[in-house]
Amino acid sequence: MDNEEKLTFLEHFGILRKSLIKIVLLMIVLFIPAFYFRDLIMELALIPITDSLPENSKIIFTRPIEGLSSNIRVSFLASFICTFPLIIYEIWSFIKPGLYENEQKISALVIIIGTILFFIGAFCCYKFVAPVTFNVLINEYSSESITALPNVSDTLGFLSSIILSFGIIFEYPLIIYILSKFGVTSSSFLSSKRKYAILISTLISAILTPTTDIFSMLFMLVPLVVFYEIGIIVSYLTYKER
């Protein structure tokens, strides 16, 4: 029995290792063209902040290696975002063997919707949340004696964290749907844990936002709380279907 369990664990570990290898290889392959077009990608990535910069202000770097590392970072971010559909596919493929046949039928739906939700979340952050956040953080605290000269490394780090975070946050309703479909959670359970969810969301917002500014934290906290409430509704509707 022990050998059988050990073999099962090793088989699962082998599947997980193959999935990680596929993801890493695709990221490397996509990183090459992303780095080749790094100037275009960098220009697009910095639009949310460049539109908010005061006159005569520029994004700078202060260390010789920082320019190269920033281009590598933005290329890596682009390759990761493009790899996300495969990440969802591999995660679902890892879970799928443990499901019943009728539960496996929603595979295509999970992969498609999961991919769409991630890109919607990332786009909404890039198009709406990030520009407002940068505008508040830069212009509200600038004055005649204080001029904003944002550091490119810090800017990309902040932008990457909120874009990826929003993409993952938008996956929450799908996760709740799956858990409710399989009977793991319910709307009543989620409702009863609301105060703990708000506390955890506050901690997550504080960790994921690299600045100590309350506004940037709220931009992360509000969607987390809203999507938790949406998750309750999704769970309730899913249970009605069962």
Q: What span, in angstroms and rounded, lies between the C-alpha atoms of 190 and 22? A: 35
Q: Give 10-residue mean pLDDT values along the chain (242 residues).
A: 50 83 96 97 94 86 92 96 94 76 74 93 91 84 82 90 89 88 86 92 78 70 89 85 57
Which residue from 77, 76, 111 is spatially nearest to 92, judged by alpha carbons? 111
pTM of the model as a whole: 0.85
pLDDT value at residue 24: 96
Q: How far is CA 67 from the centre of its chain?
A: 25
Q: What span, in angstroms and rounded, lies between the C-alpha atoms of 193 and 196? A: 5
pLDDT value at residue 104: 66
240 contacts 184 by C-beta, under 8 angstroms: no
pLDDT value at residue 4: 40
Q: What span, in angstroms and rounded, lies between the C-alpha atoms of 108 and 112? A: 6
Which residue from 230, 110, 128 is spatially nearest to 182, judged by alpha carbons? 110
DSSP string covering 182-216: TTS--HHHHHHTHHHHHHHHHHHHHHHSSS--HHH
Give residue for tokens 């956040």.
133
